[in-house]
Chains A and B, each alone.
Chain A
Amino acid sequence: GESVGLHLPTLSVQEGDNSIINCAYSNSASDYFIWYKQESGKGPQFIIDIRSNMDKRQGQRVTVLLNKTVKHLSLQIAATQPGDSAVYFCATVPGAQKLVFGQGTRLTINP
Chain B
Amino acid sequence: GAVVSQHPSWVICKSGTSVKIECRSLDFQATTMFWYRQFPKQSLMLMATSNEGSKATYEQGVEKDKFLINHASLTLSTLTVTSAHPEDSSFYICSARDTRYRADKPQHFGDGTRLSIL
Contacts and interface: CB of A to CB of B under 8 A. Distances in A.
A31 interface: yes
Interchain residue pairs A-B with the least CB separation, the first 8: A43-B109, A32-B104, A46-B106, A101-B43, A43-B111, A44-B109, A101-B44, A43-B112
Interface string A35-61: 010000111111001010000000000
A104 B6 CA distance: 23
Given A46-B106, A97-B103, A98-B34, 7 more contacts: A41-B111, A44-B95, A46-B108, A93-B103, A96-B103, A97-B49, A103-B43
Q: Is the interface of A mostly helix, strand, loop or mixed?
A: loop
A25 interface: no
B57 to A, nearest CB: 9
Interface of A: 31-32, 34, 36, 41-46, 49, 51, 89, 93, 96-104
Interface residues of B, number: 22
Contact of A43 (B32, B93, B106): B93
Contacts, number: 50
A43 B6 CA distance: 10
Contacts of A97: 32, 49, 103
